[in-house]
Amino acid sequence: MLLTITSTHQPASDLSFLLHKHPDKVHEVEISTGKAHVFYPEVSETRCTVCLLLDIDPVGLVRRNSGPRGNDFALEQYVNDRPYVASSFMSAAIVKAFSTAMNGRCKDKPELVTVPMPLEVELSALPVRGGEAVVKELFEPLGYTIHLQRHPIDPKFPEWGESRYFTVRLSNTLTVQQLLSHLYILIPVCDNDKHYWIGQQEMEKLLEKGMDWLPTHPAREFITLRYLKHQRSLANQAMEILLKDEVSEDDEEETVEPEQKLRIHDVRLQAVRDELVNAHAKTVVDLGCGEGKLLRLLLAEKQFERILGMDVSYRSLEIAQDKLKLDKLSPKQRERIELIQGSLTYRDKRIEGFDAAALVEVIEHLDEPRLAALEKILFKYAKLVDVIITTPNAEYNQRFENFEPGQMRHNDHRFEWSRAEFQQWGNRIAEQYNYNVVYKPVGEEDPEVGALTQMAVFKTRNSL
Ligand code: SAH
């Protein structure tokens, strides 16, 4: 199975710098199912072609896959197309052979990474479930010109009709990194077959490689679903992460004066930190950590040995990573903290088993069915000793100037609760999951409407 990429960007030999593969050598990379070879049939100033040739071991493939599946001696295991077509094995080879380029790095000529170049791709045997229309639906919105040749099942017997295999030629002007990320995701989507277990890790790969283009692709749902091999719950989770509007707490409380806003948020974060300190938590998770302001306060406290920040927004996590200067921390400090992308509305083992969790101004961003999912994840599965939650106190809104009745503080808020509503929710949860809960005002308390923010502090009864 062969993939070729041709550049006519001048000088065309730049392609070899971008791919980190010397044009005079044949390179071999091991993949779990065989080998991949990288070589250049053509290198000149005007045209440079690189080939990625997959050499899958058909017998090894069967051995690797044979498990307690019941059909251990099915003929299909030995006689199938897998060694000879572009499938997820090709994606595995692309990632292995061209990882530096996929990560957007180029040691010798870093300026090339962001340069769009005229590139042509040929895939010699791409299986496509759904035929020509699917290839077009996938590649045209990304700007590719497509040339397809469909192969008959057997050229000697034209009456047998067409096969699902195509020779595909694609051309486009884009960066090498973009091209590789498109191929990495869309080859297995065309094929729509599977060769390994699809789980959380696959979803993360999809999100990482597709982050720049998948959210705006018209076929994003189809791509996500096929890539994740029709696992609805994973696909939904991925879609939610991809499509989530970016929210930053800096946009919160648009109605409050800028200076007051800063102070209020600081007061809130300090209040949460103090609760976590007093709870004697050693391991904490900040759910919906946004740009990492609470994480910064937590890092300064030696008491916290392990700190995890999770958010659905990739952009916020990038900002958090920058602001916390994670790459400048000493190895010992660096070990204490980790940032992960995920959604709070799906069970995720990575957030389980911590002493405490904080959700600062997060719950009001979830609509009701999702809030119900969050409750379970947080109180049933995560097995936390302490949970600290803050949310706006809606009663306070009448103190804002020019505030209409029923108006909310931020346009992404799905609800804002009065103190009674928050306590009703919290009390029900505490009862159901065996926690004690106390409520505290955060910020100055108005005798009539209470404080701007309300906080619930839950402690499990199981540890008493
Ligand atoms: N806790 C932070 C940010 C609050 S803004 C702070 O106080 O500074 C709300 C945050 O919740 C945003 O960063 C948003 O991306 C995140 N969020 C919204 N829905 C989420 C979900 N389903 N899973 C995880 N995070 C979510």
Q: What pLDDT is recorded for position 71? A: 42
Judge if the beta carbon of residue 360 lies within 6 A of ligand 1: yes
Residues 456 and 429 sit within 8 Å (Cβ to Cβ):
no
Give the count of domains, the chain: 2
Judge if the beta carbon of residue 316 lies within 6 A of ligand 1: yes
Choose the residue to mutate in 236, 237, 240, 247 for probing ligand 1, maximizing ligand atoms within 8 Å of C-beta. Answer: 247
- What would the two tokens of residue 250 be? 């800096």
Residues 268 and 173 in one domain: no
The alpha carbon of 343 and the centre of ligand 1 are apart by a number of angstroms equal to 9
End-to-end Cα spacing for the chain = 62
Residues 182 and 322 in one domain: no
Report the distance separating Cα 181 and Cα 209, nearest Å. Answer: 6
pLDDT tens readout for residues 119-146: 999 998 898 989 999 999 999 999 999 9
pLDDT tens readout for residues 170-183: 999 999 999 999 99
Q: What pLDDT is recorded for position 80? A: 62
The alpha carbon of 437 and the centre of ligand 1 are apart by a number of angstroms equal to 23
Between 57 and 137, residue with greater pLDDT: 137
Q: What pLDDT is recorded for position 90? A: 87
Report the distance separating Cα 109 and Cα 209, nearest Å. Answer: 22
Residues 271 and 404 in one domain: yes
State the residue range of the domain holding 169.
2-196
**Torsional sign, CA 393, 412, 248, 286:** positive
Judge if the beta carbon of residue 345 lies within 6 A of ligand 1: yes
Judge if the beta carbon of residue 289 lies within 6 A of ligand 1: yes
Q: What pLDDT is recorded for position 407? A: 85
- What would the two tokens of residue 408 be? 């909310």
Choose the residue to mutate in 294, 297, 312, 412 for probing ligand 1, maximizing ligand atoms within 8 Å of C-beta. Answer: 312
CATH code for the domain in which residue 60 is found = 3.30.1610.20
Which residue's CA is the closest to the ligand 1 atom numbered 17?
288
Q: Lay out the sheet containing 145-152: strands in order across.
A: 27-31, 34-43, 48-56, 2-7, 117-127, 162-174, 145-152
Residues 173 and 51 in one domain: yes
Strands 283-287 and 356-360: parallel
Backbone phi, psi, residue 396, to 5°: -70, -20
Residues 171 and 282 in one domain: no
Residue 13 lies in a domain: yes
Between 399 and 74, residue with greater pLDDT: 399
Judge if the beta carbon of residue 319 lies within 6 A of ligand 1: no
The alpha carbon of 102 and the centre of ligand 1 are apart by a number of angstroms equal to 29
Nearest of 290, 322, 287 to residue 307 by alpha carbon? 287
Residue 291 lies in a domain: yes
Residues 43 and 149 in one domain: yes
Residues 12 and 138 in one domain: yes
Mark which of 166, 196, 226 sits at the end of a domain.
Answer: 196
Judge if the beta carbon of residue 288 lies within 6 A of ligand 1: yes
Which residue's CA is the closest to the ligand 1 atom numbered 15?
313
Which percentage of the chain shows pLDDT scores above 90? 55
Indicate the pLDDT class of residue 117, thresholds 50, 70 and 90: very high
Ligand 1 atom, smallest distance to 248 CA: 5
Residue 330 lies in a domain: yes
Which percentage of the chain shows pLDDT scores above 70? 88
pLDDT at 51 over 70: yes
Indicate the pLDDT class of residue 216, thresholds 50, 70 and 90: confident
Residues 274 and 180 in one domain: no
Judge if the beta carbon of residue 390 lies within 6 A of ligand 1: no
Residues 178 and 262 in one domain: no
CATH code for the domain in which residue 372 is found = 3.40.50.150
Report the distance separating Cα 22 and Cα 38, nearest Å. Answer: 10
| CA-to-CA dists, residue 372 to 40, 378, 384, angstroms | 56, 10, 17
Residue 233 lies in a domain: no
Report the distance separating Cα 254 and Cα 237, nearest Å. Answer: 29
Residues 188 and 263 in one domain: no
Residues 272 and 346 in one domain: yes
Mark which of 196, 219, 241 sits at the end of a domain.
Answer: 196
Indicate the pLDDT class of residue 246, thresholds 50, 70 and 90: low
Mark which of 196, 220, 238 sits at the end of a domain.
Answer: 196
Residues 61 and 180 in one domain: yes
Q: What pLDDT is recorded for position 234? A: 75
